[in-house]
Structures are given as C-alpha cells and as structure tokens.
Amino acid sequence: MEVIIRPTYQEMSQAAAHEVAKVLNTKPNAVMGMATGSTPLGLYQELVRMHVEEALDFSQVTTFNLDEYVGLPVTHPQSYHHFMHEIFFRHINIPPQNIYIPSGTTSNYPAFCQWYEDSIQRCGGIDLQILGIGTDGHIAFNEPGSSLSSRTRLKTLAKQTIEDNSRFFEHPGEVPVYAITMGVGTILEAKEIILIANGANKAAAITAAIEGPITSMITASGLQLHPTAKVFLDHEAANQLSMREYYDWLEEKRPGAPR
C-alpha cells in the first residue's frame, strides 16, 4: 500500500485527481468505480477543471458507483444518483448510457445485485476504484463485520454510519437504514484502487486500515491485500500514523519525485 500525504485537502484532492487522469490518459475507455460523500468533492472538482481547461476526455469512460441508499428515488437530493449527476457527471462528457449506479428502488434486490456484478464483469472489470473511508473504517457501505470476500448486496447500516450521514439530511430520522453496496471482494478485484481521506476525524480509521491487522471489523484494512492500492491523505488524517516519517521518506525518494 502506497501512502501519499499532502498538507491540505485541496492538495490531496489534486494529487488524487492526477492519478485518475494518468489512468484515463493511458486507457481512454477505462472503467471507473466511483465514491460519494464529502471527501471526494475536491477530487471531482479537480477532474471537472481538468476536463474544461485541459481537455481530459471522459467520452469512452464507463463508471460504476459503489452504493446507493435503499428507498430514495433518483431525484431525492440525498440520493447518490442526484449527487453524482450534480457534482460530476453533468459537467463532463461521459455518455449517460455508460453510467451505472445501484438502484435504491428496485423490486428485486438480490436479482439487481447479481445483475450489477455481472455488468461490471461484462465491461471488463473496474480499472480504477475510488474510495473514501468511514469513521469506523468501512469502505463503501461494508460495515464492521462485513466479509472481506463479500459481493454487491443489500446491507443494513450501522448506527455510527447513520449518525455520521445524518448531517446531510434535514432530520436524523430521514437517514435510510439500508443500502445497496459493492462488497469488499468486488472492490478488491479492481486493477487499481485509490482511497482518499481528510480531517482529524478520519485519523484513527486510517491508522487502523493502514497499520493495523487485516480484519473484517475494519473493512478498509482489506486494501492491504491489494497489490497497487494508494492512499491519499491530508496532514490531519495522517497525524496518528506511527510510520509517518517513513511514508514521507518513500514519497521523497520515489522515482520521478521533485528534487
């Protein structure tokens, strides 16, 4: 696992965006896994800027979102359909038919989840997966205790996740209790993974995921098993890492690093 630390959220977001651009410039028809929430906002804003100012092309890209709340229609302001279209998709040149987001209103969740898994495979698998991390160390909606070999499925959200996400809703009681989420096993099959985290409230989860044991109680720790996972952090999110100096040393000495 490669750990890249930048002083600020903006610099962290820019570094992660340039990693995404590198993949797209190498493979214009890349399949991308997309995350939602407040953390990736800066990353998406930088990708939009690169599209507008530097002609970063999304015309052949296919995307699969990690998750969606159950019970929210696509027009709901807190649905991940709405989030992705307002924040990102409507600002770039991705074809609408290339966008896949789990349905929170399907009448047959097991069949839909299998179809979603099959669709990822039919598109050749995910080339680059973008992830955030919850304060309890979860990725996507794979709450503590989720199997590290889990697949796309219906998942009951933990109380901590519901509390963390209540700030996006007018009333805490409006936060859905269920979601459809890619599994940890699905995520780990991506050819490349980048996880982004900022803020002191994520520091404990980041430390457990990077330096702790691999455990289903911290599903982000499963990224330790991935051969090319990269973690982008700001200083606050990195402030509990015991090997912080070593990560900085690796970054300084990596081939091509600024001198």
3-state secondary structure of 98: helix
* Catalytic residue (choose from 81, 138, 192, 234): 138
DSSP single-letter state for residue 158: P
* Catalytic residue (choose from 19, 46, 67, 127): 67
235 a catalytic residue: no
Contact 139, 205 (CB under 8 A): no
143 a catalytic residue: yes
* Catalytic residue (choose from 136, 189, 192, 236): 136
Q: Residue 44: is it exposed, middle or buried by C-beta count within 10 angstroms (0-12/13-18/19+)?
A: buried
* Catalytic residue (choose from 143, 189, 234, 236): 143
163 a catalytic residue: no
Sheet of strand 62-65: strand arrangement: 2-6, 229-234, 192-197, 128-131, 31-34, 62-65, 99-100
As a whole number of angstroms, the distance between CA 109 and CA 96 comes to 23
Catalytic site positions: 67, 136, 138, 143
